[in-house]
Amino acid sequence: MYVDTADPLAIILVVSLTGLVIATVLPVGLISYHRAASDRNVAWLAGGAIPGPHEAGVYRSYLTRHARSRLIGCLAALVVCLVAAVRWQVASAPTQYAVSVGVGPAPLAGNLLAWGLGGTVLGNLFAESYRLPRRGAVRHALLESRASRPLKAVTATAWAAGAVAVVGAASVWVLLGDTGGLPGAAFGLLVIALAEATHRAIINRPRPVSGIAVRVDSRLRRQSDAGLAWLQLAGAGLGIAMTLGNLAFSTWPPMTQVTLWIVTWTALIVAIIGIFRSGIRPPRRWPVPIPQAVDLA
């Protein structure tokens, strides 16, 4: 959406729409920020049953911190996006700025979906980059092997798709002189790299040595890595969609245009699915655990 900054009515429209969005999103964000993790989420993260109060407190604290970090990162990125979009001056129309949601020939600085995804990944990074307290100079070694990384196929697919986007955008630039796909390809690779940095922060985090703490820590690491794999896939999908959406292929053969259009929207759908699947929460059909009755007789 391009808006003429020389038109007073357009400015009023933009300010009104921005105020409406803020008035709608802010209450939802505040409610989500102050909402604690439910017993259902805690039981799912614990492996299927509601654990004891201390163990449940660890899970609940982690889920709350994770959700809040993702929310704050996403909202902060959207605010930065709106500011960048207002300040973005389009070369062909210096009195206009662009705001977009999705893919198409629009500046990356005003793409709300791209900024929201990037902010969510940064929120994940901040949530996972904490350190367990070190007490004293004595360190204990845990001889158990680390669990394998979950969803390796999803991670590998994301890296492969990101590489294809970069190679494709660079090839179009070299052969046809079209640089429109480079920002989208670079964005997708950046999101994948940020998620990978978050994974490194998880595996390098000190591990506890006691039995219950080891089990809790292992489950937290596994679910975090699973969410990161979906975020990497979302970044790759959105990168491909923005790469193809910003290429000037209107003069290409019709069948090629149709194929690229299908690939673009498929990649966008994959990105949206990846964003929703990246949240640490149970599937919708996961049953609510029923507390077991204890016979005290």
Number of domains in the chain: 1
- What per-residue confidence (pLDDT) applies to 154? 94
For residue 239, being part of any structural domain is answered with yes
- What per-residue confidence (pLDDT) applies to 162? 94
- What per-residue confidence (pLDDT) applies to 164? 94
For residue 292, being part of any structural domain is answered with no
For residue 284, being part of any structural domain is answered with no
Low-confidence ranges of the chain (pLDDT < 50): 1-5, 89-92, 94-95, 132-138, 292-297
For residue 124, being part of any structural domain is answered with yes
For residue 19, being part of any structural domain is answered with yes
For residue 139, being part of any structural domain is answered with no
Structure tokens at 97: 């700025």
For residue 219, being part of any structural domain is answered with yes
- What per-residue confidence (pLDDT) applies to 4? 47
- Identify the domain containing residue 63 by its residue range: 2-130+149-277
For residue 293, being part of any structural domain is answered with no
- What per-residue confidence (pLDDT) applies to 167? 94
